[in-house]
Amino acid sequence: MANTGETRRETDEFERLRERVTLADDDREAISVVAPFTGEQVGTIPAGTEADVADAVERARAAGERWAERSPEQRAAVFEAFHELVLDRQAELLDVIQTETGKSRLHAFEEILDVASTAQYYAERGPGLLAPSRREGAIPLATRAEEHHHPVGVVGIISPWNYPLALSISDAIPALLAGNGVVFKPDEHTSFIALKALELLVEAGLPEGLCQIVTGRGDEVGPPLIDRVDYLTFTGSTETGRAVAEQAGRNLIDCSLELGGKNPMLILDDADIDQAVRGAVNGSFTNAGQLCLAAERIYVHETVAEAFTERFVAATEDLSLGVGDDWDIDVGSLVSADHLAKVEAHVEDAREAGATVLAGGEARPDVGPYVYEPTVLTDVPESADCCREETFGPVVSIYEVSSTEEAIEKANDTEYGLNASVFTGDGERGRAVARRIEAGTVGVNDAYAASYGSIDAPMGGRKQSGVGRRHGSGGLLKYTESQTIAEQRTGPMAPPASLPNDWYARLMTGFLRVLKRLP
């Protein structure tokens, strides 16, 4: 992908995919899309406008009304077919992901796993979750109560650049299965993978027009999208998430927000050190640290700190850096020059504040224009930016602690609460510690993949890391309006005309006491 011929092929493919962008008319500024592997332009996307958003929502709403008439089983069949297409055509998807993000092939493959697993899970479980269900009525035998789920209408999805396939399509699958139309606003760095995935969805049987994609800058496309949709899903920074939530609140629409994190990893005194090192490498440097769930703070017990640190630094220095589609590359590129500058600034600030760099700490332009070495810091003072702010790069800090209590206290000493992990030789102990950590997901003897990959369980943040959940039943039903239908078989629940009100009150009081005694 890094040579001129391959770049030209990618450009041709991107120009073809560009035709799927929703435009109210053709007169739009072109935004350049740059490949991090080379720093070269590989395509352009149109800078969408409010008119484009209005047109996209209108089209999705019209298509959604017809789509909602299909049974959940009929809708699920589309995602069963999509599951197979994603696996069969993964090479095409991986090429686009890598071209836009610069991540290694193995880390791009995580997105394939996520989307395929999500499609299969909801195709299998979705129809049952959406089926009408009986609820306990007000009066046994006399009241029949049912819960029904209806589509909300049009779902807006604003997705980030770091996992552009997983964090757009995996959120869209349950929204579509619930019977909604969808309008995407992908990040301007990574719009083409959303367009490619939409192409496969249509090939799998999704009706044309049901999914719309409006490309462009967030501050120009995001606000008009929130003003027009019936539900909003956003993944991004906490700062932007607050603005999104405020606008959604004014419009009285519900929203789901996965925001920032400063995720801790705890290495307890009984941890298997080799296992902990593997987990720390994976948790800190997957996608060059550009992962919302990545570990940025490691709290290691003093009795194992020396052994862990020595092996972790050695494993970090052994990682291979590279750009391209070689499966043997361990760590790829950062996404842009601006992001590289932020990572460099965090490390330099830590150095100046007195931190020690144990591994890495330098940009590698000899490998790629935005490549930065996996970096391990220690002695990081509270005053350093990277102590509390999210770096979102291949940088992790080690802190020695004297007890499990101290580790838990320091892990919770943050405004964020997205993900955490605990390494220990005792699973029961690990789960007990995990319950005390203020994070939406906590892995025991795993950094993030086990908890995120458990799609039947909810995933989301606490504190300033967001609201709402993806995955599980809630990840589907949040895209529906629940409706209760209650039939009273004995006539209206009101005092009979012949019965005095005080007698009715005594009768109902006795009835409630009898109900309490029933099994």
Indicate which residues carry an active-site annotation: 258, 292
Containing 358, the helix (H) or strand (E) segment is strand 356-359
d(CA 52, CA 57): 9
Beta bridge partners of 232: 156, 255
Strand 254-258, strand 466-467: pairing: antiparallel
Beta bridge partners of 252: none
d(CA 202, CA 349): 48
d(CA 308, CA 279): 11
Tokens of 136: 């306990």
Neighbours of 23 (CB within 10 A): 18
Residue 500 — left, alpha, or beta (φ > 0 → left; ψ -120 to 50 → alpha)? beta
Burial class (CB in 10 A: 0-12, 13-18, 19+), 80: middle
Cα dist. 69→3, 62, 72, 146, 150 in Å?
49, 12, 9, 20, 11
Q: Where are the beta strands (DSSP E) in 169-230?
A: 181-185, 211-213
Cα dist. 192→18, 21, 115, 186 in Å?
7, 10, 16, 9
Tokens of 464: 């300033």
d(CA 421, CA 401): 16
